[in-house]
Structure 1
């Protein structure tokens, strides 16, 4: 069976990444692509690297016949997603890549994103889209909320440890570096080549980053009590990739064995040999997440490092993985490409 797919917001990086991935899917066909400001243009014009793929012309959302669509990916900005998704047919399967349905508490959403939640009734049916941990819920969901790319990386590095109780929950430091594509395709002065290249800087310092809302929600749910991590993101002068270095109190060998048990059957999570550290180079363009564990020179402390591609495993690859679950496809379909190296 071929599933008919629509992508809203196809002119952004995550939209283009979805097209690249779905083109290799054996049972999906893209039948509609929207981009409000670029309507009427071809994807080959907007993204020349996709010119070899036969694709529908970009159009406005209002021009799409959703009765002919089986599943819709929504790659629109937050706030816009709520408005658009609320107006879509109630029987349409949706994978949202924005932040609009990630936080279960509407007040938490307003706190982190600065806008009241305008689709509270839909929030109640949304399933959090971290595939490896919400797989069964995602299979029966109509609306899946993809995680933030930073939030996904941090959770792959910490969820098994919190669940197993092998680390001190009151002493977690998450130092994360994210490539510039994580900021989207819109023009921003601080992302110009002359202002970004040859530099490296922290941002959202002191607990102001929006993905902290996801960490607070998910880690506290796992622990059964409030858990707050110390988190500082850094902007990396690279196109793709996230590297998270997590400092925890706990026995490194026990931590490693906890990961080995938790991820033993997970195709996309690669646990490296003890003492090895991952690199963003080794996951680029793929749906894989690499995790490394090493002991610290200070007894009773360990370092966990996780690397993934923010556009693939952190966003569009995760979205396709969720769509596969929702449509009854093999979870790995369209996602087994090897990383690009060098």
Structure 2
């Protein structure tokens, strides 16, 4: 076979292979939405984005989304580390404040992946937001959560969507929920049933509420924000360089109302009061503590440390 013919064969194979690569790189299509506006009118949208009321679950970002760094420049004398080109984001989730999520502005959040939500409903007269999470294929299997919309920055939703106006063209509209005269509901097409939490040790978190309430979660971890995104760890850090594995803790009691001083009882019976470090070095990199994260039937719950009065584990 001649060199020219071999080259043509290689180019043909390369051209044929490109569409397959492009197809693999195509992101999954978002589910369409049906929005019920303030007047009860149904509006179907396929192109949209949430601009308020959601957040990314960075610790669930696939490895292929992990941030990359530029190659160090030759003869660079600035001492600056290579610049990050991206930050791992993870799936988008509704950031929901359930009833009894404490009275703090930054209270306990229930994080529900959008892929698992069947509907979000607003009762604007009673100032109540209801979230229906697909627990199975049937609506009777749904997990139903409620929370108030009475307070600023709590359970507010904002969606920017492209709406076809026929001959006039396509309009970019904003739909808001949790406000007076806001939308009545958002329905998601084809929600995926949420994965059930794994069986394991149950963590009991007594919250700073009146009266005090207890939240139960499994798979409890500490959530830290790092330069490459959010990561889960299994340790709490205290002054000066103390690191305690969650698996060694029997009981944790807040010794002040700032989430700073903690009385720690280990499983071997030792009890001491330590000062929590919210900034620490983990895996050789700086990390900022965001709180405790655990699995619940509707997704995940994030507990900032100042919302927790006591933590115990079932044996």
Shorter-chain-normalised TM-score: which range?
Answer: under 0.3
TM-score, normalised relative to structure 2 = 0.22
| Bigger-Rg structure (1/2) | 2
Q: Which has the higher helix share?
A: 1
Q: Which has the higher strand share?
A: 2
TM-score, normalised relative to structure 1 = 0.20
